[in-house]
Structure 1
Amino acid sequence: MVYFRFVNTIVHRQSFWIGFLLAVLELTTAQGAELEAQRDGVIEAASYVTPDFSGDQNTNPAWQTEIEKLGSLYVRLRISADGVTPVEAVLRIRDRSGRLVREYTASDLLSRGSFWSAVVPGDYALVSLHASGSLQGFRLAIDQIAYQAHGGAPLSTVGIDEKEPIANYADDAVIARIERPVARLLFVEGGIPRTCTGFLIDTGELMTNNHCVNSQAACESALAIFGYQHDRGGLLHFGEQFECAKFQEERSSVELDYAALQLRGNPATIWGTLSLSGTDPAPTSGIFIVQHPAGEPKKISKKGCLVSAVPVDGRASETDFAHSCDTVGGSSGSPMFNASGDVIGLHHYGFGEGGDWSENRAIRMKRIVDELSHR
């Protein structure tokens, strides 16, 4: 099966249009499926470097630069620092409105080496270095910029696209509870920004697909963003970001296409966790999926959302069930729920044109629960 995703044109400050095409290739066979996480933008080389500092800093900020990618939905920066640790210094990143997105101390910067920053919503980032005392011997550089444009072809939509904003179900007690632990997952893999969905299953543990994040390197670039969604009035809330600290290889599986990531901090105290079911859904039963399709604000697919067949083959024999819920690239790693709000499946495959599978597929949570209990 081949998926192609077309990403909208981005306008740059130089007043000309630069069009780019992102193609996402998902080759899938009924056995040993090879899947690739949804591409989510591009990475460009950059050369923002602090000057050679000498003596005490008499002005603040000591250094500042503006980064803009007009038309982009977010910006991320690849940052590195080296040299002598200043007594007191902090790097601040703000969005176009002046809101502080993330703050890094100089000692934190030096301990991280090269790393991807927090996500700055929108198409502009203001980066400033503040210090009291000398910055002599300290150097900071931004050598890459990742940015996103809107994308998403409805290749795994069943008939009419019936995905809805999650706010449509704000009065549903079950859905209002279980949607909170679902996060938008952004990461870099193979030099490409990518997006999937994930959800909290324990204090700081996030579950997603193994074909999304399957290494410590990908984890170190990953951010889980909770609460990225529209409210009833249509206002978009960007949510709260948590960095990935560890890819838990012992709690991951290629065959069952799941991965567990340990996040920094404790997002569960605010966003809660989900219950994993050890029982398969019945064929033709009604289910629903909460997702971030194409990295978009949180949506739900509930209308016309049914189990088509269970069990069916996935990456191994009888690992999956087939379903008719509308999804799109980026929905990989989304939890699938029964009417009680228990997670009965982990979505990992959306059908397109041709290929060996003609339905959307989710891993049976029963298989994952059984494997985790033995591990």
Structure 2
Amino acid sequence: MSVAVRLVAGALCLVSASGTGLAEPCHTDVPKSAVGLGDFVSWERHFEPGKSRRVPAENARYVRVLFRQRDQSDAAWTLRIRDGEGRPIQSITSRAVGAAPFWTRRLYADTIEIVVESEASVAPVESLFFQVMLENPLTFYSTKGPKPDWSDVYDRVDDAGGIVEEFEKRQAESVGMFITAEGNNLDGVAAWTCSGVLIADRPDLLFLTNDHCGGLSEPRWSSSVCEGNGIVDFSWDGDAVSRQHQCRKVVTRSSDLDLALLRLAPAASDDAAPLPASFAMNVNEGEPIAVIHHPSSETKKISRNCVARIADVSETVNEVNDFAYDCDTEAGSSGAPVFNVEGNVVGIHHTGHEKTAAGQCDGLNKAVRLDRIRQFLQEAGVDP
């Protein structure tokens, strides 16, 4: 039986990794769970050669399907996907995939028809899940006001925070949205998104995000979260280039710092990675900063008009590991890089507004300090 569940965006962004323990998020009139985005549906089907199947998705923003090659098949095959008008929109060959499950690209069509061409006597390919992404409502709980102070990086019409400069757009290219899921047909499937940043492109593609993006509680980062379902999309902007990358391995992680380093691989031959971000030094009190992120799993946003808060910070800030700042963020922003005015990374966002012991909202977001990030990466053999 197919199981459809709500796709949640950044539901884990409320976890605090401060050494003083978990702090309660500030109360607002919106739920703290996450933002419903669409459906993640179990769809176990064998694809016999020459027989087509249609994905039952209507009124979708896009559809993706998760496949895997069946172990008993040694014959070459080609999987062809067409839209409702019969136009080819993606082709995948057995030469391009391995033993691990593989996702299609984002397929922008309400009707998807799939057929496998092969001389195999048995079905060489099977589907596991499909994901239907819908337009999502926004709810805000880590913003300075009822309307978020951020701009769409690439949408010229959305100039809420002023025109986005070209150098800011170049910064944004290294930022990606991590999309993953975990579960089964019996218990249901949970899915979520986070933000993150590419920090190295050779010899491996390395992506830095929050550790809590690997799951709500320990044990985090099960094989299905990374190798099975994990995708990093560097072009979540409605553009023609996909730049989707599959999560291949969790290189290292720290629950204390709330950091995880992932090794990526392109999902297709033309999914070229962006240039990695560069690092600066620790941020100073009052220094202007910006966050580039995917709040509520939306397209890339840039939050500006904000500064670092180092002196006289709230008791909710673990000053050994974190610094505070007043940029607007949201569920789904977890793992986003914090940039200085030169375009260099000075921290990694990991938790939002919290309540003090007196019950007051601190109005601050928190990011992992750069010196702690450098130490984390150097212990993994990476020199940022």
For residue 360 of structure 1, report the CA deviation from its aligned partner. Answer: 1.4
Q: What SS is found at the alignment partner of 2:350?
A: strand
Q: How has the CA–CA distance of structure 1 residues 258 and 94 changed in structure 2, closer, same or farther, with 3 Å as cutoff?
A: farther
Aligned pairs (5 A) from 1:1-375: 24=11, 26=14, 28=16, 31-33=20-22, 40-51=37-48, 62-82=50-70, 84-94=72-82, 98=87, 100-101=89-90, 103-105=92-94, 108=97, 111-112=99-100, 114=101, 116-121=103-108, 123-131=110-118, 134-149=119-134, 150-159=136-145, 160-167=147-154, 168=156, 172-190=165-183, 191-203=189-201, 204-213=205-214, 214-215=220-221, 216-220=223-227, 221-229=229-237, 236-237=239-240, 239-249=242-252, 252-265=253-266, 270-277=273-280, 279-303=281-305, 305-309=306-310, 318-351=320-353, 358-375=363-380
TM-score using structure 1 length: 0.76
Alignment match, 1:3:
none
Q: Is the 8 A contact 2:351 2:367 kept in 1?
A: yes
Q: How has the CA–CA distance of structure 1 residues 206 and 162 changed in structure 2, closer, same or farther, with 3 Å as cutoff?
A: same
**Residues 248-306 of structure 1, C-alpha deviations (whole Å, 9 max, x = no match):** 12xx21111111111114999651011122x2212222111111111111111113x22
What do you get for the CA RMSD once the two structures are aligned? 3.6
Q: Distance in 2 between matches of 1:171 and 1:27?
A: 31
Segment of structure 1 superposing worse, 167-176 or 153-162: 167-176
Unaligned runs of 5+ in 1: 1-17, 54-61, 231-235
Segment of structure 1 superposing worse, 160-169 or 253-262: 160-169
Q: Distance in 2 between matches of 1:257 and 1:95?
A: 41
TM-score using structure 2 length: 0.74
Segment of structure 1 superposing worse, 206-215 or 255-264: 206-215
Q: What SS is found at the alignment partner of 1:287?
A: strand
Q: Is the 8 A contact 1:174 1:340 kept in 2?
A: no
The one-letter amino acid paired with 2:322 is D
Q: Distance in 1 between matches of 2:344 and 2:211?
A: 21
For residue 123 of structure 1, report the CA deviation from its aligned partner. Answer: 4.4
Q: Is the 8 A contact 2:6 2:40 kept in 1?
A: no
For residue 32 of structure 1, report the CA deviation from its aligned partner. Answer: 3.6
For residue 27 of structure 1, report the CA deviation from its aligned partner. Answer: 5.3
Q: Is the 8 A contact 2:291 2:338 kept in 1?
A: yes
Segment of structure 1 superposing worse, 216-225 or 83-92: 83-92
Segment of structure 1 superposing worse, 120-129 or 327-336: 120-129
**Residues 173-211 of structure 1, C-alpha deviations (whole Å, 9 max, x = no match):** 431321111112211134312111121100111111111
Q: Distance in 2 between matches of 1:328 and 1:99?
A: 37
For residue 365 of structure 1, report the CA deviation from its aligned partner. Answer: 1.9
For residue 155 of structure 1, report the CA deviation from its aligned partner. Answer: 1.4
For residue 312 of structure 1, report the CA deviation from its aligned partner. Answer: 6.9
The one-letter amino acid paired with 1:274 is A
For residue 315 of structure 1, report the CA deviation from its aligned partner. Answer: 8.8
Q: Is the 8 A contact 2:181 2:192 kept in 1?
A: yes
Q: Distance in 2 between matches of 1:189 and 1:154?
A: 25
Q: What SS is found at the alignment partner of 1:363?
A: strand
For residue 106 of structure 1, report the CA deviation from its aligned partner. Answer: 7.3
Q: Distance in 1 between matches of 2:271 and 2:67?
A: 28
> Percent of aligned positions with the same letter in both sequences?
24
Q: Distance in 2 between matches of 1:45 and 1:19?
A: 9
The one-letter amino acid paired with 2:56 is E
The one-letter amino acid paired with 2:257 is L
Q: What SS is found at the alignment partner of 1:161?
A: coil
Q: How has the CA–CA distance of structure 1 residues 248 and 103 changed in structure 2, closer, same or farther, with 3 Å as cutoff?
A: same
**Residues 142-179 of structure 1, C-alpha deviations (whole Å, 9 max, x = no match):** 24323233143111121131211112588734313211
Q: Is the 8 A contact 1:39 1:195 kept in 2?
A: no
Q: What SS is found at the alignment partner of 1:146?
A: strand
Q: Distance in 2 between matches of 1:129 and 1:327?
A: 43
Q: Is the 8 A contact 2:325 2:365 kept in 1?
A: yes
Q: How has the CA–CA distance of structure 1 residues 296 and 22 changed in structure 2, closer, same or farther, with 3 Å as cutoff?
A: closer
Q: How has the CA–CA distance of structure 1 residues 78 and 176 changed in structure 2, closer, same or farther, with 3 Å as cutoff?
A: closer
Q: Is the 8 A contact 1:306 1:324 kept in 2?
A: yes
Q: Distance in 1 between matches of 2:314 and 2:302?
A: 24
Q: Distance in 2 between matches of 1:210 and 1:136?
A: 44
Q: Distance in 2 between matches of 1:314 and 1:212?
A: 21
Q: Distance in 1 between matches of 2:175 and 2:83?
A: 24
